[in-house]
Amino acid sequence: MITGTIGNSKGDCYFPQVEALNEIHAEYPKATFILNTRDTSAWYNSVANHSMMNDRLALCNITGFPPTRRARKEDFIELYEAQISRIKSFVQTYPSHKLVEIQIDSDDSAQTMVDAFGGDINCWKQANTREDVRQKQIELQQRRRQKYAFQNSFTFENDQSLAGMKNITTMQGLIDYYRKQQEKENGDVTYLSEISVDEQLHSPTLVMGLPRMGTASLREFFSCIGLKTSNQFCSGHGGLRNLSTCSQIIQSNVMRGLPAFHETGDYEVYTQMGLEYISSAAEDSHDFCYFPQIEALEEIHAQYPDATFVLNTRNVFKWLESVNGHMDLAKRLALCNITGYLQTDVTSPSDLLLLYSLHEKRIKDFVEQNPSHRLVEIDIDSPDAGKVLVQKFGGDASCWGQKNTS
């Protein structure tokens, strides 16, 4: 199934039962064809509510169904009816094939299968076609939309700690503001999770912070203490999809309705799930930008309901300096279509700060609502960072050393 866009589809979309009937017949001229159907409206409702399947089908270049972003219900019904007609006509043309038609929602479907293939009628059951399964998918999508719409309620005015920054218009101005604020404080403030040492942390461990938050250092630490650890690249490659980065594989899995970490490589620790590769204008669909720790929290929870979350943070003005100075990262983030972060070609320091604040709130709120997860918070700039990591995950403090955190 498709995982990209019309201009740049990074996944596969191919239906042999549509595109390769002649080739199938050439190899197996006496094959049995099963034409499985269901009520047309029930089929469309299932497609429309299953992991963006209607969008994915609309982007496929299926014979008789040109790719589009605006496919209507009528278009899908036409696709459905055309496929039924295609199979029946093909078998009529090549009667060496046997055609078994089954209406999967029918009370007689089990008997039809037994009559055609033998066996026990108790072997028949429906999977993923029940109303409760479909409703669960709908609720999942609704929860995602509700939980992550922070931008509709979060402003500088309703957070007094940020109110003094709403009139700042330049990156340097924001950095200067934070520097002055820090000078008013006495000593370094370290934010650490207070999980007791006898509390079990479950695998996998997922690093949930934003870019420039010490993911390279965290990867080195977890690898050093003997855990199978990924950074940007995942060795599973998405199987035959041949995708290189963890972010691409996870996005593809979510769009296909697969478990989020399917075919990533079964790591014990994922230190960099997000990826932003933006090289041109905001409207260019050929770039890639996806952060599972923002867009796929529900899917992560569905697969690993007790995973350990590491919320890696750092001093905000250091983070802003790092983002602004690292290979146009500020601009690339601005061009990403990140939930809660308006896509634009102009980098706003206040928007970056809002992204930082919203994401920290997002992760903490999610763990509060799903307490089966354990949250380890670590300030990577703190002199106690290594000590905290050893306390929570074991190993030697010498395994901690910062890399690429400037």
232 lies in some domain: yes
Owning domain of residue 134: 16-146
pLDDT of 308 strictly over 90 = yes
380 lies in some domain: yes
Q: Looking at residue 17, what is its pLDDT?
A: 92
* Confidence tier at 79 by pLDDT (50, 70, 90): confident
Tell which of 121, 146, 171 closes a domain. Answer: 146
Q: Give the lowest-confidence range in 129-133, 162-166, 292-296.
A: 129-133
Q: Looking at residue 169, what is its pLDDT?
A: 53
Q: Looking at residue 356, what is its pLDDT?
A: 83
Same domain, 24 and 96: yes
Tell which of 112, 146, 180 closes a domain. Answer: 146
Give SS3 for 230.
strand
Same domain, 116 and 170: no
Q: Looking at residue 172, what is its pLDDT?
A: 57
11 lies in some domain: no
What whole-number distance in Å separates Cα of residue 30 and Cα of residue 295?
Answer: 47
Nearest Cα neighbor of 291 from 302, 281, 300 is: 300
314-347 pLDDT, tens digit per residue, is 888 888 887 776 556 767 776 677 776 655 555 6
153 lies in some domain: no
Q: Looking at residue 187, what is its pLDDT?
A: 43
Same domain, 318 and 390: yes
239-262 pLDDT, tens digit per residue, is 888 887 898 899 999 988 899 999
Q: What are phi and psi of 222, to 5 degrees?
A: -65, -35
Tokens of 160: 């007094």
pLDDT of 366 strictly over 90 = yes
Report the DSSP pairing between strands 205-207 and 269-270: parallel
Same domain, 131 and 172: no
Same domain, 171 and 137: no
Tell which of 146, 180, 199 closes a domain. Answer: 146
Nearest Cα neighbor of 257 from 302, 212, 294 is: 302
List, in order, residues 6 or more apart from 103 with CB less than 8 Å away: 37, 38, 109
Q: Residue 380: give its domain's CATH number.
A: 3.40.50
- pTM, rounded to two decimals: 0.54
Q: Looking at residue 10, what is its pLDDT?
A: 41
CA distance from start to end of the chain? 40
10-69 pLDDT, tens digit per residue, is 446 788 998 899 999 888 989 999 999 988 888 887 777 665 666 667 677 788 776 655
Same domain, 96 and 196: no
247 lies in some domain: yes
Q: Looking at residue 197, what is its pLDDT?
A: 39
Residue 101, strand partner residues: 35
404 lies in some domain: no
354 lies in some domain: yes
DSSP-H helix ranges across 34-165: 40-48, 53-59, 73-93, 109-117, 131-147
What whole-number distance in Å separates Cα of residue 87 and Cα of residue 83?
Answer: 6
As separate numbers, helices (DSSP H) first and strands (DSSP E) second, the chain gives 16, 9
Q: Looking at residue 193, what is its pLDDT?
A: 37
* Residue/partner pairs of 248-253 with CB below 8 Å, 24 or more apart: 248/3, 248/10, 248/275, 248/288, 248/290, 250/290, 250/292, 250/296, 251/3, 251/290, 251/292, 251/295, 251/296, 252/3, 252/10, 252/11, 253/299
Same domain, 171 and 40: no
CB-CB neighbours of 23 under 10 Å: 10
Same domain, 240 and 274: yes
Same domain, 49 and 191: no
Nearest Cα neighbor of 60 from 75, 40, 39 is: 75
Overall domain count for the chain? 2
Q: What are phi and psi of 229, to 5 degrees?
A: -130, 135
What whole-number distance in Å separates Cα of residue 91 and Cα of residue 149?
Answer: 51
- Answer whether 203's CB lies under 8 Å from 374's CB: no
DSSP state of 98: E
Q: Looking at residue 71, what is its pLDDT?
A: 62
Tokens of 389: 């990591």
Cα–chain center distance at 134? 20
Q: Looking at residue 191, what is its pLDDT?
A: 35
Cα–chain center distance at 242? 17
Q: Looking at residue 347, what is its pLDDT?
A: 62
104 lies in some domain: yes
Nearest Cα neighbor of 404 from 219, 185, 161 is: 219
Same domain, 240 and 339: yes
- The angle at the Cα of 48, spanning 43 to 52, to the nearest 5 degrees, equals 130
Q: Looking at residue 121, what is its pLDDT?
A: 75
Q: At what angle do helices 316-325 and 349-369 cross, to 10 degrees?
A: 120
- Answer whether 272's CB lies under 8 Å from 232's CB: yes
Mean model confidence pLDDT for the chain: 75
* Confidence tier at 376 by pLDDT (50, 70, 90): very high
Same domain, 97 and 166: no
Tokens of 246: 């963890």
What whole-number distance in Å separates Cα of residue 279 and Cα of residue 327?
Answer: 11
CB-CB neighbours of 246 under 10 Å: 28
Same domain, 50 and 140: yes
Q: What is the mean pLDDT of residues 118-126?
A: 73
* Confidence tier at 224 by pLDDT (50, 70, 90): very high
Cis peptide before 66 (omega within 30 of 0): no
pLDDT of 210 strictly over 50 = yes
Q: Looking at residue 237, what is its pLDDT?
A: 83
Q: Looking at residue 370, what is its pLDDT?
A: 94
